[in-house]
């Protein structure tokens, strides 16, 4: 297990697209926490930035054009114990616990004035000592932009002809807190810089990670990497906490990037894939099997397109690293570096725009309205299982697996129960039966595809509704014959029987209790199209077979009608009924109640 961190001076992220680009860049490190300096954040930004980031955010507010620091929570699975923020946007301190150890994490953005920075360092030291008096034993890790250097000869380029004396205030801070420069401990004589001006004629190492001396042997690595939309580089250290193998969090499933559907060349390639497998399906008279192959090929081609962009990004970053490794930068190298940095910035700005297209856009359009409606979305990192609170992901996974395990239910018992209700069943007329039994048509499939909602999460095949809308005319006939073949054989293709179960927290509820998580199943869009065709047919006759007392999930009916019905029943009982009666209200509190439990309850 390790604690990984990333720090970058972002030079203002009030611009929506730049902020999204910076957030996307940060996530490539997969770190526990991200320290950002010079955010220009104001008090009104907290909720919206937290929504855009997707996890916990701590802000120390500056103004809308200066200062401000932020800590973004990434993959951290430990406990946040306390937090403190500076009133002028210069530091944030968190106390956290992970793997039985406590850490004080501090994000610092120093002044560009020596006297002000001196006072700031004294203030930070005082705050850390106060926290130390309260929590006793913890390790310190401070990171950020300190606006000064430890060693002028190693950390400045070009080296000034008359070297100023070293900044003793930074040395005093390190001595007072028992911390040291992680980069210099790992690479004592290495000349590497974290800031440069536009033509690279001036460079400095002013961004550091300072950690407790006791952690020196536990530092795995310290990477200094090109950043985006900033003149500072990103610094990424990792602290080893144990020799135990980390629990591997399952990767998120693949989803088609809808922005690629705007690429005419990509669309032509997909059309050719569809046509090739259409001809093959006609020759082999096997449509379901070839439908699986189509989806596989489309996924493969889409991933290749995304991978080519990733390779391009890595090549640009490597070229920047190669040029900046040498401090003796020529004018030609500086021009190349400027061009490469502009290319990298553009790549991430495009990524940010793609992310806006890919998302549901609700947090952009509705802002706080969405937060109030749905609450803050939180991953399930701990749960109360049988009165025992656990953060072990293996135990949580096993518990959820049991919820979806099929419980034995006698088929005979089920049939007997349903037969006992036959007299109360309504039967459908021949006209409605004919509508339900007729063959599926291309017109129905195209109509359903047109009605599919956009900006919705797809199933585990990753093919979005936008994909089906884009290639509707190419896919409609193929889907028609897949559906007909499935109905004739009585078996659906595997992908149409699969679903991706996810859970959504109920707002303002205790999230340690399983009852306060609502499960939903994301099914693949091809299965959704078939289900929608059937649903459209059923809608034509539901009113005649579903009793008017069922008001939920029926068009034109209101659940408030049942309240009126209950009130009428109560009044009728008072005046017309002489024997004792019981009015029973049933509400399934849990979303994980099995069918067998429902039947047993109704029988009793």
List the one residue out of 49, 35, 312, 51 whose CA is nearest residue 146.
35
The reported pLDDT for the residue numbered 360 is 47
Question: CB atoms < 10 A from the CB of 381, how many?
Answer: 13
Residue 210 φ/ψ, nearest 5 degrees? -115, 125
Contacts of 437 (CB under 8 A, 6+ apart): none
Long-range contacts of 217-225 (CB under 8 A, 24+ apart): 219/182, 219/185, 219/186, 220/2, 221/186, 222/182, 222/183, 222/186, 222/187, 224/183, 224/192, 224/194, 225/317, 225/321
Rounded to whole angstroms, the Cα distance separating 300 from 302 reads 6
- Cβ 17 vs Cβ 245: under 8 Å: no
The reported pLDDT for the residue numbered 403 is 74
The reported pLDDT for the residue numbered 365 is 35
- Cβ 39 vs Cβ 12: under 8 Å: yes
List the one residue out of 240, 301, 285, 356 whose CA is nearest residue 471.
301
Stated as kind and residue range, the H or E segment containing 8 is: strand 2-9
The reported pLDDT for the residue numbered 604 is 58
The reported pLDDT for the residue numbered 582 is 74
Rounded to whole angstroms, the Cα distance separating 340 from 313 reads 10
126: tokens are 């005082």
Question: CB atoms < 10 A from the CB of 351, how many?
Answer: 21
pLDDT tens-digit map of 216-232? 888 888 889 999 999 99
- Cβ 255 vs Cβ 244: under 8 Å: no
- Cβ 21 vs Cβ 52: under 8 Å: no
H-type alpha helices, 83-190: 114-135, 152-155, 168-177, 182-186
499: tokens are 């679903």
- Cβ 299 vs Cβ 305: under 8 Å: no
SS3 221: strand
CA angle 59, 61, 65 (to 5 degrees): 125
Rg over alpha carbons for the chain, rounded to the nearest Å, is 31
What is the DSSP-derived secondary structure letter of residue 89? S
Question: CB atoms < 10 A from the CB of 311, how many?
Answer: 10
What is the DSSP-derived secondary structure letter of residue 552? T
- In this prediction the pTM is 0.65
The reported pLDDT for the residue numbered 569 is 80
Rounded to whole angstroms, the Cα distance separating 459 from 255 reads 9
Residue 268 φ/ψ, nearest 5 degrees? -65, -40
Rounded to whole angstroms, the Cα distance separating 290 from 293 reads 5
List the one residue out of 46, 33, 37 whose CA is nearest residue 10.
37
Q: What does pLDDT average to over the chain?
A: 84
CA-to-CA dists, residue 492 to 273, 404, 487, 488, 537, angstroms: 22, 22, 8, 10, 19
Contacts of 394 (CB under 8 A, 6+ apart): 247
Dump strand ranges (E) for 178-265: 179-181, 195-196, 203-204, 207-212, 219-225, 234-240
Residues of the chain with pLDDT under 70: 163-164, 166, 242-252, 325-329, 356-379, 404-411, 414, 424, 584-604
The reported pLDDT for the residue numbered 359 is 59
Rounded to whole angstroms, the Cα distance separating 304 from 126 reads 53
Q: Is the peptide bond preceding residue 334 cis, with omega within 30 degrees of 0?
A: no
H-type alpha helices, 359-410: 362-365, 368-374, 393-403
List the one residue out of 306, 417, 394 whose CA is nearest residue 355.
306
| 337: exposed, middle or buried (Cβ count in 10 Å: 0-12, 13-18, 19+) | buried
Rounded to whole angstroms, the Cα distance separating 108 from 98 reads 22
SS3 118: helix
Stated as kind and residue range, the H or E segment containing 478 is: helix 472-489
């Amino acid at each position: 297990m390790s604690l990984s961190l990333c720090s970058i001076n972002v030079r203002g992220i009030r611009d929506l697209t730049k902020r999204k680009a910076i957030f996307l860049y940060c996530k490539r490190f997969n770190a526990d926490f991200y320290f950002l300096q010079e955010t220009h954040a104001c008090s009104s930004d907290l909720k919206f930035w937290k929504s855009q980031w997707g996890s916990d955010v701590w802000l120390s507010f500056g103004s809308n054009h200066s200062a401000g620091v932020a800590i973004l929570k990434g993959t951290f699975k430990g406990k946040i114990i306390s937090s403190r923020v500076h009133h002028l946007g210069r530091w944030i301190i968190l106390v956290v616990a992970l793997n039985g150890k406590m850490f004080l994490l501090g994000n610092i953005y120093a002044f560009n004035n020596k006297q002000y920075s001196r006072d700031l360092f004294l203030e930070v030291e005082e705050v850390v000592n106060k926290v130390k008096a309260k929590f006793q034993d913890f390790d310190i890790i401070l990171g950020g932009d300190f606006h000064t250097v430890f060693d002028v000869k190693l950390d400045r380029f070009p080296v000034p002809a008359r070297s100023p004396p070293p900044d003793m205030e930074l040395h005093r801070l390190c001595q007072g807190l028992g911390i040291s420069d992680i980069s210099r401990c790992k690479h004592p004589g290495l000349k590497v810089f974290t800031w440069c001006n536009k033509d690279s004629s001036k460079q400095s190492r002013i961004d550091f990670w300072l950690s407790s001396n006791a952690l020196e042997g536990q530092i795995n690595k310290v990477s200094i990497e090109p950043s985006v939309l900033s003149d500072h580089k990103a610094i990424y250290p990792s602290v080893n906490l144990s020799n135990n193998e980390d629990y591997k969090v399952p990767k998120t499933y693949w989803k088609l990037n809808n922005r690629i559907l705007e690429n005419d060349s990509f669309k032509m390639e997909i059309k050719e894939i569809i046509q090739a497998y259409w001809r093959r399906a006609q020759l082999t008279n096997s449509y379901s099997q070839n439908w699986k192959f189509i989806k596989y090929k489309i996924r493969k081609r889409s991933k290749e397109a995304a991978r080519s962009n990733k390779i391009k990004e890595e090549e640009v970053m490597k070229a920047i690293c190669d040029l900046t490794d040498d401090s003796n930068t020529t004018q030609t190298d500086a021009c190349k570096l400027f061009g490469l940095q502009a290319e990298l910035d553009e790549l991430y700005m495009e990524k940010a725009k793609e992310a806006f297209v890919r998302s549901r856009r609700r947090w952009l359009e509705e802002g706080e309205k969405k937060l109030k409606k749905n609450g803050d979305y939180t991953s399930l990192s701990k749960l109360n299982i049988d009165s025992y609170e656990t953060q072990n992901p293996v135990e949580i996974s096993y518990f959820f697996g049991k919820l979806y395990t099929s419980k034995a239910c006698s088929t005979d018992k089920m049939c007997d129960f349903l037969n006992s209700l036959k007299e109360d069943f309504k039967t459908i007329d021949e006209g409605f039966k004919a509508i339900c039994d007729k063959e599926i048509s291309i017109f129905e499939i195209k109509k359903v595809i047109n009605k599919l909602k956009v900006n919705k999460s797809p199933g585990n095949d990753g093919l979005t509704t936008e994909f089906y809308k884009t290639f509707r005319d190419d896919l409609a006939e193929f889907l028609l014959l897949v559906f007909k073949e499935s109905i004739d054989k009585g078996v659906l293709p595997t992908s149409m029987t699969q679903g991706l179960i996810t859970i959504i927290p109920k707002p303002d509820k205790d999230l340690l209790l399983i009852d306060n998580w609502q499960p939903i199943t994301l099914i693949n869009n091809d299965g959704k199209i078939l289900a929608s065709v059937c649903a459209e047919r059923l809608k034509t006759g539901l009113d005649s077979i579903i009793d008017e007392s069922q008001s939920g999930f029926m068009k034109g009916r209101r659940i408030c009608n049942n309240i009126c019905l209950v009130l009428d029943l109560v009044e009728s009982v008072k005046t017309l009924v002489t024997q004792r009666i019981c009015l029973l209200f049933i509400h399934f509190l849990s979303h994980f109640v099995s069918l067998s439990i429902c039947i047993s309850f109704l029988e009793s």
